[in-house]
Amino acid sequence: MNALSSARSVAPLVELIPTVRDGRSQFRLLCSDPLLSAFFDNFTRGLAKERKYRTVRAYCYALKQFLNYIQALTNLLGGLTSLDLLDALENYESFLTFGTLSDIEVVRKVARAVGGRSLGGSSVIVHLAAVNKFISASETFRAGLLELEERGYIASTAMSGFSLQRVVSIESPQKVRQAIKANSWLAGCIAGGAKKIKRKGLKPVARRSELAHTDEFGGDEMTFPIDKCKELIERAPSLRDKVLWSLIAAIGCRISEAQTMLDEDIEININHPEMNQVLIVDPGTRRDKLIRFLGEHQINELPHKGRASPKTFMIEPFASMFWMALAEYKADEYLKQKHRPFPVRHPFLIRNLESGKPMCNSYQALYERFAKAAFELTGRSYGFHSLRHMYGYYLVNHCPNPYSGGRQFGIAIDKVKQFMGHVKVATTKKYARQDAVMLESTLCAINLAKLHGGVKTVRQAQIAHLEHEIKRLKSEITAEAA
């Protein structure tokens, strides 16, 4: 029977094992190919030294999927020639993007065998970046191997260091490559000088609209409805959660920034409460302090995307809710300390409810409590990032403007960029989207006024429209109260 006609499931022969080396969390590869395992081992070790843990983890799992794709293809074809390898690399984007819906028969079969799933543009880019970096490393290895061959430094005993399954002849570079290829897919890739995968038709991701089509509560699929946020915070199942949720709502920070926040980042001025502020500090700038409370590999795992400025801008009523919840939370933690067999000594703000340990790498436990409360309140699925979207949307559209020379409501995008910690305005616009209803209504008012010979200027049309909107909203409020 033709191997391609078989629809049998191919058990993944490649698995990842978490480990810690050089004080950094990383991964090792468990597979039947010793050379591939050794190569992956050194590849991830170098990657961990130059990239953050989240990137290392994403790359390693992307490579696991790629190597299982290659292994499944090898099993289905009964082997893998250089031409097969080239086709496999050419078709990998189709495997990632379309999976079992691919037009390529062999890709569909592999996807059914290993459980291929369709990925979006952003995810595909990460996967291809990981694979291409791996291929680049193999090409560097190949070039080094050829140079050693040319200089006569490679001997049979030296080659055994690559964990090949049998002794390799060194009569000529070609025979060396053939011998390696007979024993290892990776070495076959090295011998042939595999080329990087190029994206063919997939764009990174469709550009998000810079307009927000929110409902009557100020929410949409990405933005948590601001009119329901106060109730959400009040529903928090613990003081810890109440502090966390109100903090993110008040300053629009990332959940990772809240998780790594220390007590000293919250500056309280007793004499002038209006001067209270919350700072967001990169954990990498205080490793010497964190080492007293965390292990080196834990510090290296701390997530931080970086900010242009540590300063934040707090919005009401969530700022007041945060300060009140913080005071209660501190008092509650003080009482808990008296009953703990081992008092907490670390300065992290967000702590485990029972043990008091830091939760700087415990996202899932925090997320599930938030997602449950948000769904019960809104009927929609929201994560912590929806509060960051809410913050940006509110600042650019409805926030009372404290700066002179500007409009009364809505802060300039450059200022919003600063408060959200972004480097580029383009990034801020993904969050601080203009209210589509306000924009559309303004344009409609202008067009109607022009058509019926009414007001003649844009400003006059805006005033007329806003006066009409005020009357309409007052009527709705009166009707709801009746």
Tens of pLDDT, residues 83-94: 777 778 788 888
Lowest-pLDDT range of 17-26, 120-129, 352-361, 362-371: 120-129
**Cα–Cα distance, 198 to 345 (Å, whole number):** 51
CB 92 within 8 A of CB 132: no
DSSP assignment letter at 212? E
CA dist., res. 337 & res. 243, Å (int): 18
pLDDT at 439: 47
The pairs formed by 71-75 with CB atoms below 8 angstroms and a separation of 24 or more are: 71/10, 71/12, 71/13, 71/14, 71/31, 71/185, 72/10, 72/12, 72/110, 72/113, 72/114, 73/106, 73/110, 74/185, 75/3, 75/10, 75/113
Band of pLDDT at residue 299, cut at 50, 70 and 90 = confident
Highest mean pLDDT among 7-21, 222-236, 422-436: 222-236
User: Could you report the per-residue pLDDT of 218-255, keeping only the tens digit for each?
Assistant: 445 678 988 889 999 999 999 999 999 999 999 989 99
- The listed range with the strongest mean pLDDT (183-187, 224-228, 307-311, 448-452) is 224-228
Q: Which of 29-33, 440-444, 462-466 has the highest mean pLDDT?
A: 29-33
Residue 446 pLDDT? 43
Q: How confident is the model at residue 370 (pLDDT cuts 50, 70, 90)?
A: very high
For residue 157, name the pLDDT band (cuts at 50, 70, 90): very low
| pLDDT given for residue 283 in this prediction | 87
Label residue 474 by pLDDT band (50, 70, 90).
Answer: confident
Flag whether pLDDT at 453 surpasses 60: no
> How many Cβ atoms from other residues are within 10 Å of residue 32's Cβ?
9
- Please provide the DSSP assignment of 123-136 as one string: HHHHHHHHHHHHHH
Q: Residue 459 CB: number of other CB atoms within 10 A?
A: 9
Tell me the two tokens of residue 15.
């698995």
% of the chain at pLDDT higher than 70: 66
What is the DSSP annotation of 426-450?
Answer: HHHHTTS-EEHHHHHHHHHHHHHHH
Distance CA 248, CA 250 (A): 5
pLDDT: is 173 or 422 the higher one? 422
Q: Which whole-number Å values give the CA distances from 416 to 96, 423, 436, 474, in the listed order? A: 36, 11, 18, 30
Q: How far apart are CA 420 and CA 241, in angstroms?
A: 22
Q: If you average pLDDT over residues 452-472, what whole number do you get?
A: 60
DSSP 152: T
More confident residue, 304 or 135: 135
More confident residue, 229 or 5: 229
Residue with tokens 């609209």: 209
pLDDT band at residue 472 under the 50/70/90 scheme: confident
- pLDDT level of residue 443 (50, 70, 90 thresholds): very low
Residue 279 CB neighbours (<10 A)? 16
State the Cα–Cα distance between residues 170 and 163, nearest whole angstrom: 16
pLDDT for 205 equals: 39
Residue 92: name the closest of 37, 134, 39, 41 by CA: 134
Model pTM score: 0.61
**Whole-number mean pLDDT of the chain?**
74
Residue-level pLDDT at 122: 67
Residue 18 has pLDDT above 70, yes or no: yes
pLDDT at 164 over 50: no
| Nearest C-alpha neighbor of 85 from the set 219, 171, 184 | 184
Taking alpha carbons only, the member of 308, 310, 306, 303 closest to residue 265 is: 310
pLDDT (tens digit, 9 = 90+) per residue, 47-101? 888 888 888 999 999 999 888 888 888 888 877 676 777 778 788 888 888 888 8
Q: What is the pLDDT of residues 375-412, one digit of tens each?
A: 999 998 999 989 988 888 887 776 766 665 555 667 77
Q: What is the pLDDT of residue 10?
A: 44
Rounded (10°) angle between helices 185-192 and 121-151? 80
Cis bond leading into 343, ω under 30°? no
* pLDDT of residue 291 exceeding 50: yes
Q: Return the pLDDT at 389.
A: 87
The confidence band for 466, taking pLDDT boundaries of 50, 70 and 90, is low
**Whether the predicted pLDDT of 295 surpasses 50:** yes
Find which of 207-221, 224-238, 295-309 is predicted with most confidence, using mean pLDDT. 224-238
Taking only the tens place, the pLDDT of each residue in 343-356 is 888 999 999 988 88
- Paired tokens of 113: 């065998």
pLDDT, tens only, 105-146: 888 888 888 876 667 666 778 888 888 888 878 777 666 666
The pLDDT value given to residue 329: 95
Query: In the chain, how many H helices and how many E strands?
Result: 21, 6
